[in-house]
Amino acid sequence: MRSSILLFIVASVILYGCIEVYEPEISADNQHFVVEGLLTDEAGPHIVRLSRSNTFGEEIRQNYVGRANVRIIDSQNNAVDLREIRSGYYETPEDFSGTIGETYTLHIETVEGVVYESEPQEMVKPVSIDSLYGEFGQQTFSFESPASGDIYQRRVEGVNMYFDVSRDDEQIPKFRFNTVLMLQYEWAVAVGGAPIYDLCWVKRRIVDFLEADIPQNLSKPDIRRNRIAFLPISGRNMRYMGFPQYGRDDSTAISYTHPRIVIKSIYTLNEEAYEFHYDRNMQLSDEGSFFDPISPQLSGNIYNVDDENEIVFGFFEVSPVTKSTINVRIDENQNIIQIDTLDCLEYVPNSGCLTAEFPEWWI
């Protein structure tokens, strides 16, 4: 017993003596240039946003970069100038759109005379959507108790939405997707005798409840069972997805009994854009556990023309986009999931109400 204790003490001293404190050099005072831009094959305007990152330890705020000259240049050296609509936000003309097979470069000159450019980005051929379907399933949500502050988990019944994609040229399809769920509800307004109803809606991006917004198995020219949404059956469970639980008086629960309206956008990516979004997904999925892989530095495509050593963040993406809107009708008792195609409702504001008047798109 005494020998075991002695051995433990000796080992502890040896291990402690082998520890070397590593203090990394942190560049805490730099505000790096940040570029966010997306050009699609749809009509404009397309937005480019310019800002600077916060310094280490600084209170987080938006440091927008205004009064810059921003343009998009194609492979034939045709240039389109962007107009600053507010500080740091620049937009193309409404009649400008990208063309499949063309290559575009983002060119920026700040008011100080510093010039930044993107690597040339090709707009590749879009993927083909082969099918869209739903399956009954469950999703686990974590939530905090407002009373105790403890974290609990809840298994929620719902429908998983999937789609299959391929490419005509037998190339492996690379894409990202964005999914928005729009819910409708009615709110009774007591006026005299018969109640008058406000017809309301709310939209929310729901990709953050999925594992990733890109395909991760790129072994075949067709990719099956890409999960793009989870739709709770019970309206009460929409609270776990960030939708409001109560109405104006903060006591009466909203009943989301109307259709589940899904607005999806699929962006086909070139090789460089896929690598950027793959790294981004890796960072977002990192839970900070001991065995998590080291998150990669996001590989942006923006650089300082005159100073290759300057660290610049951001990405100028050039992607064709396919958008559609569907109404998912769920009959749990009959084990039926019916999907109806609608006119695209992306233009509908994120939330709103009309009193005793149906919106033209109301389902």
Domain boundaries, the chain: 33-123+276-284+297-318, 128-269+321-355
| pLDDT at 147 (0 to 100) | 80
Answer whether 275's CB lies under 8 Å from 299's CB: yes
Alpha-carbon distance of 243 to 261, in angstroms, equals: 14
Q: Which residues pair with 103 in a beta bridge?
A: 122
| pLDDT at 19 (0 to 100) | 54
| pLDDT at 287 (0 to 100) | 54
| pLDDT at 247 (0 to 100) | 82
| pLDDT at 169 (0 to 100) | 77
Alpha-carbon distance of 350 to 323, in angstroms, equals: 17
Q: For residues 96 and 8, which has the higher predicted lDDT (pLDDT)? A: 96
pLDDT above 70 as % of the chain: 86
Alpha-carbon distance of 151 to 43, in angstroms, equals: 45
| pLDDT at 220 (0 to 100) | 79
| pLDDT at 290 (0 to 100) | 44
Q: Which whole number is the average pLDDT over 51-68?
A: 83
Q: Is the pLDDT of residue 351 over 50?
A: yes
Q: For residues 73 and 216, which has the higher predicted lDDT (pLDDT)? A: 73
Q: Does domain 33-123+276-284+297-318 have CATH number 1.10.8?
A: no
- The Cα-based distances of 187 to 229, 238, 253, 327 in angstroms read 27, 17, 10, 21
* Chain mean pLDDT for the chain: 88
Q: Which whole number is the average pLDDT over 251-273?
A: 92
Alpha-carbon distance of 239 to 138, in angstroms, equals: 15
Q: Is the pLDDT of residue 103 over 90?
A: yes
Contacts for 358-363: CB closer than 8 Å, 24+ residues apart: 358/199, 359/199, 359/201, 362/184, 362/199, 363/184, 363/258, 363/259, 363/261, 363/327
- Identify the top-confidence range among 5-19, 36-50, 147-161: 36-50
Name the pLDDT band for 336 (thresholds 50, 70, 90).
very high
Q: For residues 308 and 50, which has the higher predicted lDDT (pLDDT)? A: 50
Q: Which whole number is the average pLDDT over 225-251?
A: 91
Q: Is the pLDDT of residue 291 over 50?
A: no
- For 17-21, 276-280, 327-331, which range has the lowest pLDDT when averaged over its residues? 17-21
Q: Which whole number is the average pLDDT over 82-92?
A: 97
Q: 171-212, pLDDT tens digit by residue?
A: 889 999 999 999 999 988 766 677 888 999 999 999 999 989
Name the pLDDT band for 11 (thresholds 50, 70, 90).
low
Q: Which whole number is the average pLDDT over 79-105?
A: 97
- The Cα-based distances of 304 to 13, 32, 47 in angstroms read 50, 11, 21
- For 80-89, 104-113, 212-221, which range has the lowest pLDDT when averaged over its residues? 212-221
Name the pLDDT band for 295 (thresholds 50, 70, 90).
low
Q: Is the pLDDT of residue 294 over 60?
A: no
Q: Is the pLDDT of residue 59 over 90?
A: no
Alpha-carbon distance of 71 to 92, in angstroms, equals: 8
| pLDDT at 339 (0 to 100) | 96
Alpha-carbon distance of 159 to 208, in angstroms, equals: 16
| pLDDT at 1 (0 to 100) | 53
Name the pLDDT band for 27 (thresholds 50, 70, 90).
low
b/e per residue, 194-233, with b = 16+ CB within 10 A? eeebbbbbbbbebeebbebbbbeeeeeeebeebbbbbbbe
Q: For residues 45 and 195, which has the higher predicted lDDT (pLDDT)? A: 45
Q: Is the pLDDT of residue 315 over 50?
A: yes
Q: Is the pLDDT of residue 42 over 90?
A: yes
- For 142-146, 268-272, 349-353, which range has the lowest pLDDT when averaged over its residues? 142-146
